[in-house]
Amino acid sequence: MNRPYIICHMVESIDGRIDCSMVEHISGDEYYTTLEALDCPASIEGRVTMEHYYALPGKFEELDRTVIGKECFFRATERTDFHICPETKGTLLWESNIFEDGRPLLVITSERTTCEYLDYLKEYGISYIVTGKEKIDLKHAMAILHDEFKVDRLAVLGGGLINGGFLEAGLIDEISLLLAPGIDGRDGWRAMFDGIANQDKLPTKLKLTALERLENDVVWLRYNVLG
């Protein structure tokens, strides 16, 4: 299967917590400078992150609840530097098809999404990929992203559930981890990879390829994913 080369890039405290507001207190701008160095024009963040930071308030309210029920895609631009939002059933509202950094939005959703919501995206010039009967089929989505949207390198930027989904699907090639000098310790916060229900899953083995000490005592670790 053709797909992009996929790097998971995260910053966390030494106890594995990834809450953005927390790690801002124990690191500087290393997250962004190292992300730029990874040379991944396209990136994907989890639905919760996208809803909190980028989407408009409220939810899409359809009048016709007919679902699309088939795999399809719509490419609104020839650009390949997408900022991607995964959402199993389309509900998020968007102010624009372009983010503040100038990159175009692309939504990945499942066949449970209504035709009316997809028409809404198309009307706003927002690209989309629809794949998966009950939930997003990440493997098919990545194949479409590569073959139809010409994305060769993709950064997965969390949170823990979307990272865990890519890991479980065997779609991560490399880990780029910034270990910030601080401890969180609060109860109830997710880890860098989370949400895999299979309790018999063996650990994913990694090979360390680079280690660098950055400013603010942040350590940058890079691993290749084995197997």
What does the domain layout of the chain look like in residue ranges?
A: 1-41+151-227, 44-150
Classify strands 219-225 and 174-179 as parallel, antiparallel or unpaired: antiparallel
Strands (E) across the chain are located at 5-12, 42-44, 72-74, 83-86, 105-109, 127-130, 153-156, 174-179, 206-213, 219-225
Give yes or no for residue 55 having a pLDDT over 90: yes
Whole-Å CA distances, 196 to 108, 142, 164:
20, 19, 6
- Concatenated DSSP letters of 115-171: HHHHHHHHHTT-EEEE--SSS--HHHHHHHHHHTT---EEEE---HHHHHHHHHTT-
Left, alpha or beta for 170 (phi > 0: left; psi -120 to 50: alpha)?
left
| C-alpha span between 94 and 100 (Å, rounded) | 13
pLDDT digits (tens, 9 = 90+) for 78-135: 999 999 999 999 999 999 999 999 999 999 999 999 999 999 999 999 999 999 999 9
Angle at 109 between CA 107 and CA 114, to 5 degrees: 105
pLDDT band for position 199 (50/70/90)?
A: confident
Q: Span 181-192, mean pLDDT?
A: 88
Among residues 82, 73, 81, 86, which one has the least CA distance to residue 148? 73
In which residue are the tokens 């139809």 written?
Answer: 148
Average pLDDT, the chain: 94
What is the dotted CATH code of the domain comprising 1-41+151-227?
A: 3.40.430.10
Written as six digits, the tokens of 188 are 């109830």
Q: Span 145-163, mean pLDDT?
A: 95
Give yes or no for residue 187 having a pLDDT over 90: no
Q: Span 175-188, mean pLDDT?
A: 92
Question: What pLDDT is recorded for position 191?
Answer: 84
Give yes or no for residue 139 having a pLDDT over 80: yes
For the chain, what percentages of helix, strand and coil (3-state, to nearest 5) are there? 20, 25, 50
Classify strands 127-130 and 72-74 as parallel, antiparallel or unpaired: antiparallel
The pTM for the full model equals 0.93
pLDDT band for position 18 (50/70/90)?
A: confident
Give yes or no for residue 227 having a pLDDT over 80: no
pLDDT digits (tens, 9 = 90+) for 29-47: 999 999 999 999 999 999 9
